[in-house]
Structure 1
């Protein structure tokens, strides 16, 4: 528990549920693969133990579930708070996903993510902040901050095929579509004690951005595929 007392403290937030996230992954993979040809490349690159900050480009509505279910280890993904309504919201909570307010500083989401990492598990972040062309044109600082606080390595994922060209923000690929998930090389990060300078977070963010752009290029070349392009005009996530 002592690790939770370091600033920002994470001892006063609840740990996300994990029993369904862990126990339900094999059945979920089987069900999804009945509809889609999901291929995970270089799973061996993913650390077998310890905290991990998982980062990924974001092109389709199913990227979050794919990350949680097909990453080599269970992932508690930061997920926009708008999705935590009704039955879907209850399901997301049962599967250990973390609600995030994208439009203001969200201390509860940050502390919950830190609790997961400090207990040796994986947190997922989409640095673009929203679904789009997946080309990492924007890159927010959350992943860098979580890594600097905990010393967790950053493991990039590249999603390809989870949205068809011309598909809208909530569209699903057609049945039988191939979805590639390429695991990148882990990026080691040294923990930086409090107080952490904004310039330090910014520098790591820039480094992660460049490394992910390079990994994205490599993933596209390896799979021989391309990204779906922008969302249709007027469409937003």
Structure 2
């Protein structure tokens, strides 16, 4: 572990790391357990990875916790996930404050059950003064829904004469997204072996480096994270330019 940590260049860390936490259900199935056990074990990985990011000073971490499409899962599983969200938030508030981590959330939060929504807003409020790192949970989140919402908001402002169509640019669009207060994603990690984006931060990952691993989320550790970061640091990010221009 220390060997990996020593290899990481603290000056080349991703400023915004996003993770698609996939594989909870398959982890449980492989062990002959209920899917609920996979989700519960996944919360331990959330804690370990969040603390690891804070440890090496990654300022922004965004976790894909519940998508707009996840509402279509079996009712009992959705209810379990919402109960787990509430209990996890209650348990982690002390840890968040201890580690000086601010909680943030993006998505159609009004769609959450009232109890989960209330608990979420309470933890956000109680950690709003923390400055070490911003942990963002994507809940009831879908990138297409986010973009549709953004188009509607901008269209309404154009209709009211607040924005000229000729002035619409990346800055204006970005300022209407759920992630308006976050920088673009530098590194996107997906666990479980699936290699797709699944409607996550489509605008924000335009130039993100993508990293896929076969490890199921409950088994994902600090060591795995550090390996992903080292892989990221060994890549050349050109943003459309040539290698000669970058060098």
TM-score by length of 2: 0.36
Judging by fraction of residues, say which structure has more helix.
2
